[in-house]
Amino acid sequence: MRGSPRALLVFLGRRLVYSAVVLLGVMVVTFAIVQLVPGDPIRLALGTRYNAEAYQALLEASGLDRPLPEQFFSYIAGALTGDLGVSFRSGQPVTVLLLERLPATVSLAVVGIGLALLIALPAGIWAGLREGRVADAIVRVTSQFGVSVPDFWMGLLLITLFSGILGWLPSSGYTPLAEDPGGWARQVVLPALTVGLVAAAILTRYVRAAVLEVAHSGFVRTAKSKGLSPKVVTMRHVVRNALVPVLTIVGIQLATIASGVIVVEVVFAWPGLGRLVYEAVAARDYAMIQGAVLLIAAMFLLINLIVDVCYALVDPRIRLS
Residue 201 is a binding residue for other proteins (CB under 8 A): no
Residue 277 is a binding residue for other proteins (CB under 8 A): yes
Residue 126 is a binding residue for other proteins (CB under 8 A): no
Count the Cβ atoms, other than its own, within 10 Å of residue 140. 15
Q: Smallest gap, in angstroms, from Cβ of residue 289 to other proteins?
A: 5
CB of 296 closer than 8 Å to CB of 273: yes
Cα–Cα dist 154/167, whole Å? 17
Going along the chain, which residue ranges are E strands?
Answer: none
Using DSSP's 3-state secondary structure scheme, residue 88 falls into coil
Taking residues 137 to 176 in sequence order and writing x for each that binds other proteins by CB under 8 A, - otherwise, the string is -------xx-xxxx-xx--xx-xx--xxx-----x-----
CB of 33 closer than 8 Å to CB of 293: yes
Q: Smallest gap, in angstroms, from Cβ of residue 25 to other proteins?
A: 3
Residue 284 is a binding residue for other proteins (CB under 8 A): yes
- Full DSSP string of 260-286: T-HHHHHHTT--SHHHHHHHHHHHT-H
Residue 134 is a binding residue for other proteins (CB under 8 A): no
Residue 16 is a binding residue for other proteins (CB under 8 A): no
Residue 276 is a binding residue for other proteins (CB under 8 A): no
Q: Smallest gap, in angstroms, from Cβ of residue 57 to other proteins?
A: 22
Scan residues 25-44 and list those touching other proteins (CB under 8 A).
Answer: 25-26, 28-29, 33, 36-38
CB of 254 closer than 8 Å to CB of 113: yes
Q: Smallest gap, in angstroms, from Cβ of residue 256 to other proteins?
A: 6
**Nearest alpha-carbon partner for 317 in 19, 8, 18:** 8
Residue 259 is a binding residue for other proteins (CB under 8 A): yes
Cα–Cα dist 26/21, whole Å? 9
User: Given CA atoms 66, 72, 78, 79 in this order, what sign does their dihedral have?
Assistant: positive
Residue 119 is a binding residue for other proteins (CB under 8 A): no
Binding site for other proteins (CB under 8 A): 18, 21-23, 25-26, 28-29, 33, 36-38, 132, 144-145, 147-150, 152-153, 156-157, 159-160, 163-165, 171, 255-256, 259-260, 262-263, 266-267, 277-278, 280-282, 284, 286, 289, 293, 296-297, 300-301
